Structure 1
Amino acid sequence: MKQKMQKPDKREYTLMIVPHHGKSVFSLRIPIKIVKYAAVTLGICLTILSGTMLNYRYQANIATQEKIELVQLREVSSKQNVELEELAKATAELQDNMNRLNQLDSDLRRMVNSEESAAVSRSAPVRIANYNGQGGPEVKPDIKQLTTLVNELKASVSEREKSLSNLKDALIEKNERLAVTPSIWPTNGEVSSRFGWRSSPWGMGSSWHPGIDIANDIGTPIVAAADGTVVNSGWYGGYGKMIEIDHGNGIVTIYGHNSRNLVEAGQRVKKGETIAHMGSTGISTGPHLHYEVRVNGTAVNPSTFL
C-alpha cells in the first residue's frame, strides 16, 4: 500500500497596513513555514538568553562571594602580618635576654672561682634572623624562621635552666664551705701575740704559741669565726673560760680567757654570732682573746684563714 505523500503546507499569513486618508493599503504575505522557523528560532534564542542570564547571575554571585572572602582574607592576612611582626620583635627581645643571661652566667661562674664551677656556660647563643635589618637588609619574618627560632629558644632555656641550676648548687656549696670556714676576725682589737715561737711574757725564755692574741677592753664582744657546733664551753685550765667550736671537716676553733661565755655545749652557732665577752681569765697578763684554729687536731696559723 503506497504511503500518501504529504502535501507541503502552503498557508500564508497576510500582514496588512491600512494608512489614513485613503492611501493605498500595503499588504505583506508571510508563509507559514517562515513563521514556524521564526518561532523556533525565537524560542531557541530565548532559551539561550535565559540560560546565559542565569549563568551570569550565578557567576556574579560566585564572584561577589569570592570578593567578600578575598577582602576578609586580606584583613586576616594583614592582621596576621602585624601579629607576626610583633611576635618577631618579642622573640628578638627574648633572644637578647637569653644572651644577657648567658653573659651573666659566665660572669657569675668566673666570680665563683672554684674548680667545679670554673667552666663557662655551655649554653650557646641562639641564632636569630636580622628581622629589623640590623647589620644587613631588612628581612621579613616568616613562620618557618620563627618556628626554628622558638625551638632553639626552647633548647636554650633548657640548657640555661640546667646551667643555672648547677651554678646555684655550686654557689650553695661554696657558701656552705665559707660558712664553716673560720674566715673572719673573732673580735676587734690589737694583735698582741702572733702564731709560733715567742718570748715568754713571764720571762721564761721562748715558748710555742699555738694561736694569736687579740687585746682589747674587758667585755669586748667575741664572735664565732664560722658556723659550727659548740663542743666545750667552760673553764679549761690556763685558757680560763674557753669555748671550742667544731666546724666540721676536721676544723675546730678555740676562744680562751673570756670573761663570760654566752653559749653552751651542743649549741649551734652562726658565723658572726656573739658567743662570749673578752676577759683575762686563766693564765693571762691582761684582757685579750686567745684564738686558735686546729685542723685534724693540729694547731695552724689562723692568719691563713683570714
Structure 2
Amino acid sequence: MRKRFYILFVARGNDGQLRKIPIPLHYLYVVIVGAVIGGLSLTGIASSYLRMVFKVSQFDQLRTEKEELKNRYSRLEQVATERDIQVASLGSLAGEVSSLYGLKPDPGLVATASDHIQDAQINSSLDQLYALRTSALTGATMTGISLGLTRNVTTADWARANSAPNLWPVEGPVTGSFGERIDPFNGEGAFHSGIDIGSSLGQPVIAPADGMVLFADFMGGYGRAVIVDHGRGITTRYGHLGNFAVAPGQHVQRGDILGYVGLSGRSTGPHLHYEVRINDTPVNPHKYLRLTVANVGGFSAGS
C-alpha cells in the first residue's frame, strides 16, 4: 500500500531552482490537531482570565458595599444612641414636671442613656409630654392647680376636672338651695332640682365647661332655658333667662356667654336657676362650683 503525502515546492534564489519537500499526510494531521488543541487551550486561558477579572470586579463591588453598610450601621448606631439620650432627657423632663405639679410618677418614663429603651417607653414618654403640653394649652393645668389637685394626680385627672362644670355660671349669693324646700308660690314642700343664684337683670350667664347646646327655648316653669351637654353624661340647665346668646347645636367653651339673667317662667325676681345633671339625674351643683371669673380670660378659686 502506497503512503500518501503532500509535496511542498520551495523556490530558491534568483535562478528559480525548486526544492521539493515531501510532507507525509500524518504529519499534517498532527499539525492540525496541535493547532486545534492550542486554540482550545488559548480559549480556555482567555475564559479563565475573564472569569477571574469578573470575580475580582465582584469582590471589589462587595467590598465597597461592605464599607457602605459599615458606615450606614455606624450612623444608625449613632442615631440610636442620640435617640436614647433624647428619650432619657424627655423622660427626665417629664418626671421633673410631674414632680413639680405633684403628678403620679411613671417609673418607665425615666431612664438613663445606658439603659435599653423600648419603643413602648419612647411612646409613653412622648405621650406624657404631649399630655402635659395639652393640659397646659387647654387650661386644664391651671384648673387642676386652682382646685387643689397637686398631689398624686395625673394629667387625666386634670382633664376630667377641666371638663367638669366647676365654674360659677354667674356670680352672686345662693338664694335657693338644692333639695327639699318650701315652694315660694304655694308654701308647700317641694324638691328643688338645682340652686338659685341671685343676680341683677341682664347679667351674662357663662358656660361652666366646654360642651354643646342641646336646648335653647322656653320650657315651662324654667321660662327661657338653656341645656348644655358636657359629655360623660353630664348636662347643665339654666333657667329664668331674659335672653339667649346661643342656639341649639352650637359648641361652647368654658367662659362663653349662654344668655342673660332674667325673670322668665316661675320666678319671684331676677336670678339664675342652675342645675347639674348626671345621666339626667339632678345632683347638687354646689359641689361643682369651685371657680369664679376673676378677670377676663382668668379664673380663681371660689367658694
CA deviation after TM superposition for structure 1 residue 259, in Å: 0.6
The separation in 2 between residues aligned to 1:203 and 1:165, in whole angstroms, is 57
CA deviation after TM superposition for structure 1 residue 181, in Å: 1.5
Alignment check: 8 A CA contact 1:230 1:246 kept: yes
Equivalent residues in 2 for 1:46-65, closer than 5 Å? none
Q: 1:108 aligns with which of 98, 119, 125?
A: 98
The separation in 2 between residues aligned to 1:106 and 1:300, in whole angstroms, is 38
Q: 1:263 aligns with which of 220, 243, 246?
A: 246
Matched with 2:285 is: 302
What is the RMSD of the two structures over their aligned residues, measured on CA atoms? 3.4
Equivalent residues in 2 for 1:77-88, closer than 5 Å? none
State the SS of the aligned residue for 2:258.
Answer: strand
Q: 2:179 aligns with which of 172, 196, 213?
A: 196
Counterpart AA for 2:251: R
* TM-superposition CA deviations, 1:215-252 (whole Å, max 9, x none): 11101110011111111101111101100011121111
Matched with 1:168 is: 130
CA deviation after TM superposition for structure 1 residue 119, in Å: 4.0
Label 1:119 to 1:100 Cα distance change in 2 as closer, same or farther (>3 A): closer
Structure 1 or 2: larger strand share?
A: 2
Matched with 2:263 is: 280
* TM-superposition CA deviations, 1:232-290 (whole Å, max 9, x none): 10111110110001112111100000011110111111111111111111100110000
Q: 2:235 aligns with which of 228, 252, 269?
A: 252
Matched with 2:199 is: 216
State the SS of the aligned residue for 1:168.
Answer: helix
TM-score norm. by structure 1 comes to 0.52
Q: Does residue 230 of structure 2 align to residue 230 of structure 1?
A: no
Alignment check: 8 A CA contact 1:106 1:121 kept: no
Alignment check: 8 A CA contact 1:109 1:120 kept: no
CA deviation after TM superposition for structure 1 residue 162, in Å: 3.2
Alignment check: 8 A CA contact 2:194 2:283 kept: yes
* TM-superposition CA deviations, 1:18-45 (whole Å, max 9, x none): xxxxxxxxxxxxxxxxxxxxxxxxxxxx
CA deviation after TM superposition for structure 1 residue 168, in Å: 3.0
Counterpart AA for 2:124: K
Listed as ranges, the gaps of 5+ residues in structure 2 are: 1-83, 136-155, 290-303
Label 1:166 to 1:104 Cα distance change in 2 as closer, same or farther (>3 A): closer
Alignment check: 8 A CA contact 2:90 2:126 kept: no
CA deviation after TM superposition for structure 1 residue 197, in Å: 1.0
